[in-house]
Amino acid sequence: MTSSLDGLLGFPVTPFRKTGELDLPRFETHLAEMLEAKPAALFVACGTGEFASLTLTEHRELLRVAVANVDGAVPVLAGAGGGTQVALEFTRSAEKAGADGVLVLPPYLQVGPPEGLVEHYRQIAAATGLGVIAYQRATAVFTPESVCELAEIDGVVGLKDGHGDVELLQRIHTVTGGRLLMLNGMPTAETFAKAFRAIGVRAYSSATLSFAPAIARAFHDAFERGDDDMQQALLREFYVPLTQLRHTTNGYAVALVKAGLDIQGRSAGPVRPPLRDVSPEHRAELARIIERGHAVLDAGPAK
């Protein structure tokens, strides 16, 4: 599974009906749309998939549908999170549903020292046969020494970073000697792609793949072939403006993705509270950003 996580990583949204329940037929269509962009893997019910608002039953249903529809085309990894006992429940459920691995989100509101985080992941890894990816972000920031301990735990296979401290990542990469797979998990990860590549982290999660897959694929292809002109054009016209818009409102890392789908006639429904749907003025701005991104693709390589 880890050998497949070397490329563009997709994070589907979780579609909801206006009445609030899961929209599983729309989820099936959404997965098919994402697979057309040839991601290296799909991470279901994670941050972009609104894990924090899902019940265990809903989480299990999403994984069941994802595993059946993807049908082995790419690995399907599941989100898990919360305190250790809750994370264990979601991890065991994901394993029963047929997931290939689990991304364990930080235990929000429970801030412990690095040794507590290591024990959190140790217990989760011991309870499953799935590969476990730790997630460094917010309330779960590791020291290089604690990541060395993680690397010694059977079943812990990777570290996804959404913290963005490049110096810390370099220290982690140096002391672990490449024993853990490292993933760029920053919000709007494309804006960090070059910086992370400089310390040996090439694979990244792309929220853009969920709502503008052609743009996400074009950027990643340019990144892989070293086409700086195309990367800079997409950063200038799409990714940096998108990042600036995301910073205006808490929760827009998810809400903008769903708004982007709706703008293009592929609605996945509303976000769940405490997130809020995108305001009309920001929705109009997002539409312009998407249009500019596609215009870069239409223009093709710089002459």
Q: What token pair was written down for 89?
A: 């429940």
Question: Catalytic site residues?
Answer: 135, 160
Q: Would the pLDDT of 303 be above 80?
A: no
CATH of region 2-225, choose from 3.40.47.10, 3.20.20.70, 3.40.50.280, 2.40.110.20: 3.20.20.70
Closest by Cα among 7, 2, 37 to 184? 7
Quote the pLDDT of residue 139: 84
pLDDT-above-70 percentage for the chain: 99
Q: What is the mean pLDDT of residues 251-275?
A: 97
Quote the pLDDT of residue 302: 59
Q: What is the mean pLDDT of residues 22-49?
A: 97
Q: What is the mean pLDDT of residues 159-163?
A: 96
**CA atoms within 13 A of residue 30's CA, in its CB half-sphere:** 34
The pTM of this model reads: 0.95
pLDDT tens sequence across 98-120:
999 999 998 876 778 899 999 99
Query: What are the structural domain ranges in the chain?
Result: 2-225
Q: Would the pLDDT of 33 be above 70?
A: yes
**Straight-line distance from the first to the last Cα atom of the chain, in angstroms, rounded to the nearest whole number:** 40
Q: What is the mean pLDDT of residues 51-78?
A: 97
Mean pLDDT, the chain, as a whole number?
95
Q: What token pair was written down for 156?
A: 């812990």
Closest by Cα among 200, 183, 197, 186 to 231? 197
